[in-house]
Structure 1
Amino acid sequence: MSTMFTRAAGLAAVVALAAVTVAVPAHAKPDKEPDLSDVGSLVDKVAKEQLEEGEVPGAAVSIVSGGEEIYSQGYGYADIDDKTPVDPDTTGFYAASTAKLFTAAAVLQLEAKGKLDLDADVNEYLDFDIPDTHPGEPITVEHLLTHTSGFDPDYGMLGKSVTDAEELMSLRDSVVDYLPERVEPPGTVLAYDNYGVTLAGYIVERVSETPYDEYIRENVHKPLGMTGSTATQPHPDTIAKNLATGYRLDGDKQVTTPPNFDPWTPTGPGHVVTAADMSRFMIDQLSNDSLLGEGIPENMMKQHHTSHAGMPGIGYVYEEQPRNGQRVLAKDGDGMGFHNDMILLPEHDLGIFFAVNGDGGDGLDLAAIGEAVTDTYYPGDDVGKPTAVDDSDVSEYEGVYQGSRVSRHSIAKLRVVGQSRVIVTANADGTLTTSDKTLSTHADADSQKWVQTKPGFFREVDGRGTIAFEDGVLTGSTGQNQVYLKQAWYESPVLHLYLTAAALVAMLAGVIVLPIVALRRRGQSGPGKFSRLLGWLTSALAVAVVVGLYLLLSNRDVGIQMLWLGSPLVYAIMTAASVVVLGAAGMAVASVVSWLRGWWRVSGRVSYSLLSLAALTFASIAVTYNFTGPPFD
């Protein structure tokens, strides 16, 4: 803990410190560890609730403690049509991002052998160059494992996945062709980074002189006895035959998701695991004698980056997510039709893995089992209500904060439109209120109130959560794969939505009115007629773009599928939006010329100028959110 008080406060300050500060909790172990013999009944109840309320067809759970698996169970169906039940020992689930842990372990194995240096410039291990965007601040291997490389987040999502493994590009080609821009100096901003971990996996391949999937098989899966797991694409027949079918909801029906092969295997895609194999992995992670290598799990779980001193942070891929005063390390994975959550309580030698084979509905809560077990067996002590020990002005923290995991240079920036933001309001009593995005330890809280315990550091009034501010960056204690960056008013997605709506209304009017005007003046010719045609075509294409975006964004799971697989609809939207930009520029020129040369009546020139302004507004939004091209990404 880093909260500081003056010596004059003496013993009272120590007491106050214990009462108000839980940023990195004192993870006290109980005098006697709880009896987990009945944990199965609790987990069984919650898992069945998740199947029903989360609307997923199947699930598997495994729990380890004391060096052994103490509970495992399958629920529902691995395949609905064949009525194949989920078997925790044999049913395969896509691991998605949880497989990043395997990449981290592989990197540390090579470091232990002296084959790479975590603090070295990644260019030392590559056969292509990462640009020197920030001179004197190279990206290191450690940056890749802590999501602090500064690469543009979520870049390279469009069209990289395929449904036929024979069309899969190589790992090397993918990291070269989809190299993101460096948007932040390394080590400064925490932002979940799929490319960074993929690059770490390619470094494993380069340094070990072994294909990535083979290295993982021989050095991670094989030592642990993970016989039902693989990083190879296409999957070996023994794995493929037991792989669960992925599903997404279409109304009240479960629809299968398409096969998905992706070259970025080190960051998760393509990895298949079973619940039993994840038990073996968790047991090794919690062991004092790891089969992966001496000290490797401890190094993975150690905090290697925090965005604010005294706050939870990130290890090598592991995210610190304290709960009830306990140190909890978490990693989850999300893919098309597959999702999972894994947590470790290292001080209590406890690990929990929960996986489902469906995207599910709003009721799906992957963290439900881990939270239920933690709350039941490690509830923590009542920390009491915090008392403000710092009454300095808090108005400087007011504003709107957006998550850092937002692409700046790809169409993936569109995800910001549906994301919750953190709205911070300063209260007259010196407290802060946050709303919209939940930073509370109470997941269902609509808003939270915070007391300042030292400058820039706040404790939740009715919970254990903490937040901290520094240089326009907000760090929360409930999730450690991104921070929140203060937005300028003109960066607001809400403002952009209003501007888009206003422009769309004007352009819809243009689509309707311009043909009527053309019919009334069908005998006319010349540049004025062409300008009206240009206005109609531009407006019609803008309307078509909005319809396409609605189809893309109305169902999150379908939209992600379309982006990953490079759906023709996505490319059609981007092509049409690019033409709208050109059309808007042409309309702006025509509008100016219409006033200079006296085309049409004054009312006609005013109307066309307003339509041109609407087109330019729409075009600027299209450029801002990167759904123009070429290139199309």
Structure 2
Amino acid sequence: MTLNGDGVDSTGGWATQQVLNAFLDRFYPAAPAAPTVPIATAPITTGLDRYTGDYRSTRTSRSNLTKAAALMGSLHVTAADGRLTVTGPVTRDPEAEETHWEQIEPGLFQQVGGTARIAFPTGADGAVTALLTDADPTVAYQPLAWYQAPGLHRITALAGLAVLALTLLGWTVGALVRLVRRRGRAGQPAVRLLGAAVSTLLLAATACFALLTADPNELNQTLFLADSPLLTVVPVLVLAALALTAPMLVCTVLAWRRRWWGVPGRLHYTALTLASLLLLLLAGAYDLAGTSALDLLG
């Protein structure tokens, strides 16, 4: 049985599994007293920490912004109570966001209460080199360093965007209040304008990127046909923000040396600069800038 697409929310693969399950249940039903999935041997509950960490599919783009799919499609593995817990799409069931596994042989695990299996090949030095799943033999997951973890990237991006958005909101409200009260402009208006410009560019790039990747199937079509102006707009916005962040970094240093504003104001501008730099680092890592030369995370 085969399908000509992934289906809504990528449920196509699970549909074929459901047909197979229904066929077996109808023509080859299990005895009522038999366990659903007998474990071949007693679970091995030791040495599980070596398998924990984050894993990313090797079928991840290295040359365009579809690499951002790794933000949601990667796996996170933890160990507790003699079992592994995998968060992410490791089985064909799209609703199984978290699954539990028991080790039946060294490096081989069977799903608790299910039929799926995963395996962890190791190298000559004993280090884990991949995570494999029988749900899709065409996919392997490679272990990631801590700084490559998608979970860390998501938190960093949300925190950075919050700093930028709150800064724009605060400065806008402050400018309106000063205008109404006729108190003139805030100190170092050009420096603030620079920070506002970078914040606006990065927020706009994020919004355009969200529109572009809202539907994975449409994104694939867009990349093949190159029929969306957003494919050009996102890299331009990111590169423009990068160009303006360099002088912003200089202004941050000058703010402390020349004591612009008070200490809270300097701390805020420093946080704004740091948030912008981190967002640009992530934009380079996920190829939002349109060039892999800015990928410093791998």
Aligned to 1:484, what secondary structure does the other structure show? strand
CA contact (8 A) 1:574 1:629 kept: yes
Q: Report the CA distance between 1:538 and its aligned residue.
A: 0.8
Matched, 1:437 2:89: yes
Q: Are residue 561 (structure 1) and residue 210 (structure 2) matched?
A: no
Q: Which amino acid in the other structure matches residue 536 of structure 1?
A: A
- In the TM superposition, what are the counterparts of 1:423-434 in structure 2 within 5 Å? 423-428=76-81, 430-434=82-86
- Rounded to whole Å, the distance in 2 between the matches of 1:631 and 1:404 is 17
**Aligned with 2:162 (options 499, 505, 510):** 505
Match of 2:143 among 460, 468, 486: 486
Percent identity over the alignment is 28
Q: CA deviation at 1:415?
A: 1.3
1:387-446 CA-to-partner distances (Å, cap 9, x unmatched) read 226554222112232222222343221111232x33323233x33333432337x67545
The whole-number CA distance in structure 2 between the counterparts of 1:561 and 1:504 is 28
Find runs of 4+ consecutive structure 1 residues off by over 6 angstroms: 378-383
Query: CA 1:506 to 1:560, structure 2 compared with 1: closer, same or farther past 3 Å?
Result: same
Aligned-partner residue type, residue 620 of structure 1: L
Determine the C-alpha separation between the residues in 2 that align with 1:496 and 1:398: 18
Once the two structures are superposed, residues 52-89 of structure 1 have per-residue CA deviations (whole angstroms, 9 ceiling, x without a partner) of xxxxxxxxxxxxxxxxxxxxxxxxxxxxxxxxxxxxxx
Q: One-letter code of the match for 1:425?
A: T
What residue ranges of structure 2 are gaps of 5+ in the alignment?
Answer: 123-127
- CA shift in 2, pair 1:378/1:484, >3 Å: farther
Q: Structure 1 stretches of 5 or more lacking a match?
A: 1-351
> Contact 2:65–2:290 (CA<8 Å) still a contact in 1?
no
Aligned to 1:371: 20
Residue 125 of structure 2 corresponds to: none
Shift of 1:521: 4.3
Distance 1:388 1:477 in 2: 21
Pair 1:449 & 2:100 matched: yes
Q: Return closer, same or farther for 1:554/1:632 CA change in 2, 3 Å cut-off.
A: farther
Map of 1:588 onto structure 2: 249
Matched residue of 2:47: which SS? coil
Contact 1:423 1:437 in 2 (8 A): no
Q: CA deviation at 1:548?
A: 1.0
Take 1:550 and 1:543, find their aligned partners in 2: how far apart are those partners? 11
Match of 2:76, SS state, is strand
Residue number in structure 2 paired with 1:544: 204
Q: Tell which structure's C-alpha radius of gyration is larger.
A: 1
**Secondary structure in 2 matching 1:367:** helix
Q: Which amino acid aligns with 1:457?
A: L
* Conserved? CA contact 2:63–2:291, under 8 Å: no
- In 1, the alpha carbon distance for the partners of 2:186 and 2:75 equals 57
User: Does the C-alpha gap of structure 1 residues 522 and 366 become closer, same or farther in structure 2, counting only changes over 3 Å?
Assistant: same
Q: In the alignment, what sits opposite 2:110?
A: 459
1:223-622 aligned within 5 A: 352-355=1-4, 360=8, 366-367=15-16, 371=20, 375=24, 376=26, 384-388=38-42, 390=44, 392-419=46-73, 421-428=74-81, 430-439=82-91, 445-469=96-120, 470=122, 471-515=128-172, 516-517=174-175, 520-522=183-185, 528-566=188-226, 567-622=228-283
SS in 1 for 2:85: strand
Q: Aligned residues, how many?
A: 275
Aligned counterparts of 1:360 and 1:424: Cα–Cα separation in 2: 27
Q: C-alpha offsets along residues 258-307 of structure 1, whole Å, 9 cap, x if unaligned?
A: xxxxxxxxxxxxxxxxxxxxxxxxxxxxxxxxxxxxxxxxxxxxxxxxxx
* Higher helix fraction (1 or 2): 2
Distance in 2, matches of 1:532 and 1:486, equals 42
The CA distance in 1 between the partners of 2:231 and 2:211, in whole Å, is: 10
Change (3 A) 1:493 1:431: closer
Distance in 1, matches of 2:17 and 2:104, equals: 31
TM-score by length of 1: 0.39
Q: Is the 8 A contact 2:284 2:291 kept in 1?
A: no
Tell me the alpha carbon deviations over residues 575-614 of structure 1, each in whole angstroms, 9 at most, x when there is no partner. 1011112222221111101222233343332222222122
